[in-house]
Structure 1
Amino acid sequence: EAFAGLYSLGSDVTDQDLVAIREVVESNGEGRYVLKPQREGGGYNFYGQELAEKLKANVKVADDGTLTLQKELAEFILMERLFPPKQPAVLLRSGKVEGTGDSISELGCFGVLVVSDDGEVMHNEYAGFLLRTKFSNVDEGGVASGFAT
């Protein structure tokens, strides 16, 4: 799989988002999700048990099973984890060897979209890409935070 599901935790939460949230809470965070702050740069992500605890502390479950999300969660996005294939690598930073070992890469493609108030697309253009590579045993991922190169 090359694309990951993204699930809102804000005021625009959908039934599909709630299904993913419930799955994390009921599985105690085992498996396929990561909770990420909605900012670029990486770091401060929640995985596994830590993810489940964060959601349990901020999700109220009513007697009828209805979920109510605390406003704090709107700062995050719930995302399916990607498990790309590993490849051997020598990772460099500023021309110096960081280390050698199994690595994984993630390609981020960026675009610019400007839409008028009435829905007319004013500008829609490709804006570049960023390939992040890190050692496969590291959960965190940002280039700016020092986890990826």
Structure 2
Amino acid sequence: MFKYFGYELADSSYGKEYGYEDWKRWDLETPHEISICQVREGFKDKEYCRGALGHHDHIAFSASDRKDVDRFYRDVLLPLEKEGHCSIQDAPCDCPEYGEGYYATFFFDRDGFKYEFVVNPNHLLKMNQRKVDQGSGGKG
């Protein structure tokens, strides 16, 4: 999934007690990094509870357009689900409850963490306005 989003596996280690993967994007103005870590031994008996303190509700990644969402679903999610790495909650669909033009696919990893890949026109408008404001010396 992270390769599709332009991330590169920068480092990883899998030991007996602890393992991790560091995924980075080097092409942006500031390096972006996502670290995925195995649960430490003392916490393995704790169940994940979506939205609880210290547990995320879900992570959303932004798509460039609707075709990008469809392509990600077809080329990444369907094969990952077939291999047992995720379960798809929703195929790409319109989600008017989140805003006009909101189009997304939702899925869970094997641990039950929820993810979303979305094109959100409101986000794109804000991003473009920010660029205009920054180009004119304003703060967006």
TM tier, shorter chain?
under 0.3
TM-score of the pair, normalised by structure 1: 0.24
Question: Which protein has greater RCO, CA pairs closer than 8 Å, 6+ apart?
Answer: 1
TM-score of the pair, normalised by structure 2: 0.25
